[in-house]
Structure 1
C-alpha cells in the first residue's frame, strides 16, 4: 500500500484515515456497485471458498448499494473484532501495517466509473470491500491478517518489506486454496475481478503451485495483468499456523542470499497442481511487440 506522500494529505488524520462520507455517493455510484456485486455474486458461489460466501451473508453485504462503513464495521466487530476505515488512497507501509495489526482494514472510498467496470488499475471500494472484507468475518483469516500486520512492522525493521509484500500478494490478493471440491479462489484481486475469477481456475496458461513461504518470498509478481503463477494454500488455519510459528528473521537473511524467481518460474521442489502453458502471457507479449512496431 505504498504512497509517495510522506505525510497525510489535507483532511486526513495522522493515521491517514478520512470520513467515508457515505451520504455523498450518487445514485449512479450505488448502481455501479450493484452491477459489480450482482455479476460477481452470480459467478462466484462454485468458485470461491465457502468462507467468502458465508462472510457476505453474515455481514449483510448483499444489501443494495455501497456499504456504509459504520454499519459494516458494527457487524464485523461482533464477528472478529475488525473494522473498516476509509483512507484517501494508498498509504505508507508502516501505517498500513499498524492498521492491520490493530484489526483495522483500510479501504479507499471512491468507486470506479461505469466505463471502468471491467478493469481499474488502482483499487477502489469494490475491490477493497467486496474483495477483502467478507473473509475478515472468518476467525482464522482475521487472525492471519492481524499477524501479517504485526509481521510487517517487524519486517520494516529488518528492511524486508518487499519480501513480505510478496506473501500478501500471493495470498491475500491472489491466493487459491485446495478444497475437497478442487481449487477455490480466495484472493481479493481475483474475487473482485470477473475475468480473473475465470482465468485463475479455468485457463491452462498459469502455473498453480503449492504455497511455501520461502518460495513465495523469492517470487516476483506482476501488477498490470493476470498472474502467471498462483500459489495454493491448504487452509486458512494452516496459513495462520505457518505465519505464527515461523521465525522470519533468519528466513529473511536466507532469502536475501538467493536469486529472485521470475513470475513464470517453476523451481526445484515445487509441488505443482498445474504446469501452465503461459500461452496468455506469450500472446500478450507478442501483441505488445506488434503494436510497438
Structure 2
C-alpha cells in the first residue's frame, strides 16, 4: 500500500499543486536535465524538447496530452498511487499512459520505490513522442490485457528491460531510453558509466527469462541496436515467444534474494 495519496483532478484536467511541490519539481528537473543531456538517446532528448516541460512549476496533464496526441495519438491518464495489472494493461491498450498524481516528498527526493509524477512525466513521456516506442507500448498493453497471470510475469520482464531500463546503441555508444533510468540521477550515471553491470545485446528470449529486482541498481541491461527494433518486436508473435520462455524457465538471478541482501 502506498504512503502517498494522489491529488484530485479538476474538471479541466488540472491538479492543484502547492508551492513546496513546485519547488521539489524544480529541483528534480534542473538536476536531472544536466545528467541526461549527454547520456539519453536522441529520441528522448527530442521528445523532451517537444514537451518543453517547465522548470518553475509542475506541468499540467493537458499540456502533456497536446504534444503526445499530436505526435503519436497517446495521452496520459491520472491514476491513484498504485493500480492493478488489469488496469495498467487496459490503459496501455487504449494508448493511455498511467500517471500517479502525487510527487515525492523532500525526504524521498533521491530515491522512491513507487512511480511518482516526476518519474512518469520526466522519465517516460518524452519517449512516447517516438512512433516506434509508442507502437511497441500499445501492442504490449493489448497483449498484457489478454494474458494469463503467469504470462504477465514474463511480459513484465520485457517491460522492465525496455520501457523502464532499456539502453540503445547510438553512434557506437550506449544511450538510455528507459524511464526508470532517466528519472534517477544515480541510475543514469550507473547505467552509463559503471563497470559493474553487464550490458548485453538485446535478445528477446533472454530478456523474457531474466529475473530482476526493483529495489537495487540493475546488474544487467539489454542494449537494442536501434529503436526501430521495438517496432519490429511489436510485429512479432510475442506471446509465442513468451510461451518459449516459459517452457525454458527463468535464468539464474544475478542478485541475492531480498531477505539475504544484508546478511553476513
* TM over 0.5, shorter chain: yes
Displacement of 1:286 = 9.7
Question: 197, 200, 206: which one pairs with 2:188?
Answer: 197
| Residue 287 to residue 104, structure 1, CA distance change in 2 (3 Å) | closer
Is 1:288 aligned to residue 262 of structure 2? Answer: yes
Displacement of 1:154 = 3.1
Q: Is the 8 A contact 1:222 1:263 kept in 2?
A: no
Question: 255, 269, 280: which one pairs with 2:245?
Answer: 255
Displacement of 1:159 = 4.1
Structure 1 partner of 2:216? 225
Q: Is the 8 A contact 1:56 1:62 kept in 2?
A: no
Cα displacement string for residues 121-168 of structure 1 (whole angstroms, at most 9, x for unaligned residues): 111101111100011111111111111111212323x84000000000
Is 1:235 aligned to residue 235 of structure 2? Answer: no
Displacement of 1:252 = 2.7
Cα displacement string for residues 165-217 of structure 1 (whole angstroms, at most 9, x for unaligned residues): 00000000000111114000111110000101000111111111111111111
Cα displacement string for residues 72-103 of structure 1 (whole angstroms, at most 9, x for unaligned residues): 11221111111111101221212211111111
Unaligned runs of 5+ in 1: 5-11, 265-280
SS of residue in 2 equivalent to 1:257: helix
Q: Is the 8 A contact 1:228 1:263 kept in 2?
A: no
SS of residue in 2 equivalent to 1:99: helix
Q: Is the 8 A contact 1:126 1:192 kept in 2?
A: yes
Structure 2 partner of 1:40? 32
Q: Distance in 1 between matches of 2:98 and 2:130?
A: 17
Question: 165, 172, 182: which one pairs with 2:173?
Answer: 182
SS of residue in 2 equivalent to 1:288: coil
Give the alignment's TM-score, normalised by structure 1. Answer: 0.81
Q: Is the 8 A contact 1:175 1:187 kept in 2?
A: yes
Q: Which moved more, 1:251-260 or 1:200-209?
A: 251-260
Cα displacement string for residues 41-67 of structure 1 (whole angstroms, at most 9, x for unaligned residues): 011111000111111111121453111
SS of residue in 1 equivalent to 2:125: helix
Question: 43, 53, 75: which one pairs with 2:45?
Answer: 53
**What pairs with 1:1-293 in structure 2 (closer than 5 Å)?**
19=9, 22-156=14-148, 159-245=150-236, 247-264=237-254, 288-290=262-264
Q: Is the 8 A contact 1:82 1:103 kept in 2?
A: yes
Unaligned runs of 5+ in 2: none
